[in-house]
């Protein structure tokens, strides 16, 4: 199922083959009333099994609207955290090492005997306020400096957990999205430069985990205009999805709606106002994201 949020927090199911969104906003009635203080995480993702049952009842008679006529928001509204994985494709690691002027503060070529960049650098956090959907697009921050695109598989956690074994990790997943991890280049820390408003784009919808049996074998690509910039497969991840979830859960309690960005392949490059990025992920879909 492709669950989307659109046009001012309406709930929909994207029926891509038909080119429509089915409006199933009525399914939100199954969500329990929230009292202060709310539990950490995203309520819709936490209650997704019950919401899906309600959606199935509504779907046959749900009104349809053209997919290209809606404004797609981030399918996750309130993650407790957005977690990133640095340098998780070998060819991206190589290109970072070759572009010293741009990536001087990453020490990309010196991992001091650690098995992977993540073993040395760990994971990083992005501000939740950086999260937008594809229709909102990216608003360039620090316009005198370079902002780069980084297309990624995004994993959305479905339930609270900590200290998860890799073999159990996929059981935590609610679904998958395309993620754009936008980055201002400069000397500051990674989390700071990746956290301006609109610098995490998530969409175009949440594809439930049952529709993606193997997240470690998905083709992924990004165009800027007509130019292909990035193309790879998640099979090329240095640390795979299971291991990333397990690692994150050893350092942080994971909550429903938490987003794990799994890393970007080679081909990272700059965007400018007026550009349109087209990101595509096998099994998930395609999203077009304007830059302003």
Q: Are residues 282 and 190 in the same domain?
A: yes
Phi, psi of 286 (to 5 degrees): -140, 140
64: domain range?
A: 2-72
Q: Are residues 154 and 253 in the same domain?
A: yes
Which residue stretches of the chain are H helix?
43-46, 48-58, 90-98, 117-121, 190-193, 241-251
In whole angstroms, give the CA distance from residue 286 to residue 51: 24
Q: Are residues 151 and 236 in the same domain?
A: yes
Q: Which two tokens stand for residue 146?
A: 């370079």
Bridge partners, 224 (sequence order): 227, 277
Residue that is last in its domain, among 72, 101, 116:
72
Q: Are residues 68 and 86 in the same domain?
A: no
pLDDT by residue for the chain (292 residues), tens only, comes to 999 999 999 999 999 999 999 999 999 999 999 999 999 999 999 999 999 999 999 999 999 999 999 999 999 999 999 999 999 998 887 787 767 666 655 555 556 789 999 999 999 999 999 999 999 999 999 999 999 999 999 999 999 999 999 999 999 999 999 999 999 999 999 999 999 999 999 999 999 999 999 999 999 999 999 999 999 999 999 999 999 999 999 999 999 999 999 999 999 999 999 999 999 999 999 999 999 9
Are 220 and 231 in contact by the 8 Å Cβ rule? The answer is yes
Phi, psi of 170 (to 5 degrees): -65, -20
Sign of CA dihedral 32, 130, 103, 232: positive
What is the structure's pLDDT at 178?
99
User: Residue 77 domain-assigned?
Assistant: no
User: Residue 185 domain-assigned?
Assistant: yes
Q: Are residues 24 and 142 in the same domain?
A: no
Residue that is last in its domain, among 18, 46, 72:
72
Bridge partners, 22 (sequence order): 13, 64
Q: Are residues 50 and 188 in the same domain?
A: no
Q: Are residues 140 and 30 in the same domain?
A: no
What is the structure's pLDDT at 104?
57
Q: How many domains are contained in the chain? A: 2
In the DSSP assignment, the letter for residue 216 is: T
Residue 126 CB partners (closer than 8 Å, separation 6+): 82, 83, 84, 181, 191, 194, 195, 199, 200, 261
In the DSSP assignment, the letter for residue 160 is: -
44-47-52-54 Cα dihedral, nearest 10 degrees: -100
User: Residue 196 domain-assigned?
Assistant: yes
Q: Are residues 191 and 65 in the same domain?
A: no
Q: Are residues 130 and 11 in the same domain?
A: no
User: Residue 150 domain-assigned?
Assistant: yes
What is the structure's pLDDT at 100?
62
122: left (phi over 0), alpha (psi -120 to 50) or beta: left
What is the structure's pLDDT at 94?
77
In whole angstroms, give the CA distance from residue 84 to residue 72: 23
What is the structure's pLDDT at 103?
64
Q: Are residues 113 and 232 in the same domain?
A: yes
User: Residue 124 domain-assigned?
Assistant: yes
Q: Which two tokens stand for residue 83?
A: 């977690």
Q: What is the CATH number of the domain that holds 230?
A: 3.90.850.10
Residue that is last in its domain, among 23, 43, 72:
72
User: Residue 63 domain-assigned?
Assistant: yes
Q: Are residues 171 and 243 in the same domain?
A: yes
Q: Are residues 135 and 23 in the same domain?
A: no
What is the structure's pLDDT at 91?
82
| Parallel/antiparallel/unpaired status of strands 173-181 and 147-149 | unpaired
Please tell me the number of Cα atoms within 13 Å of 144 on its side-chain side: 0
| Parallel/antiparallel/unpaired status of strands 285-290 and 2-6 | unpaired
User: Residue 272 domain-assigned?
Assistant: yes
What is the structure's pLDDT at 281?
98
User: Residue 208 domain-assigned?
Assistant: yes
């Amino acid at each position: 199922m492709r669950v989307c949020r659109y046009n001012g927090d309406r709930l929909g199911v994207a029926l891509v083959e038909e080119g429509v969104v089915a409006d199933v906003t009525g399914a939100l009635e199954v969500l329990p009333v929230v009292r202060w203080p709310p539990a950490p995480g995203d309520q819709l993702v936490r209650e997704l099994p019950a919401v899906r049952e309600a959606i199935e009842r509504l779907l046959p008679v749900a009104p349809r609207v053209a997919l290209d006529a809606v404004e797609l928001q981030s399918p996750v509204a309130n993650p407790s955290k957005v977690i990133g994985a640095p340098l998780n494709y070998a060819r991206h690691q190589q290109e970072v090492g070759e572009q010293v002027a741009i990536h001087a503060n990453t020490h990309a070529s010196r991992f001091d005997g650690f098995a992977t960049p993540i073993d040395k650098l760990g994971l990083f956090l992005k501000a939740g306020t950086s999260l937008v959907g594809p229709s909102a697009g990216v608003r360039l921050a620090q316009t005198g400096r370079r902002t780069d695109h980084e297309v990624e598989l995004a994993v959305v956690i479905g339930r609270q957990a900590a200290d998860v074994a890799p073999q159990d990790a996929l059981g935590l997943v609610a679904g998958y999205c395309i993620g754009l991890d936008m980055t201002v280049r400069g000397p500051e820390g990674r989390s700071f430069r990746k956290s301006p408003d609109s610098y995490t784009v998530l969409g175009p919808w949440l594809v439930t985990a049952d529709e993606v049996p193997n997240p470690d074998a998905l083709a992924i690509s990004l165009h800027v205009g007509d130019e292909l910039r990035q193309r790879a497969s998640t099979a090329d991840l240095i640390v795979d999805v299971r291991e990333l979830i397990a690692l994150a859960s050893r350092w942080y309690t994971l909550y429903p709606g938490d987003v794990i960005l799994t890393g970007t392949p080679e081909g990272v490059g700059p965007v400018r106002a007026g550009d349109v990025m087209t990101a595509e992920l096998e099994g998930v879909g395609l999203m077009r994201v304007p830059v302003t």
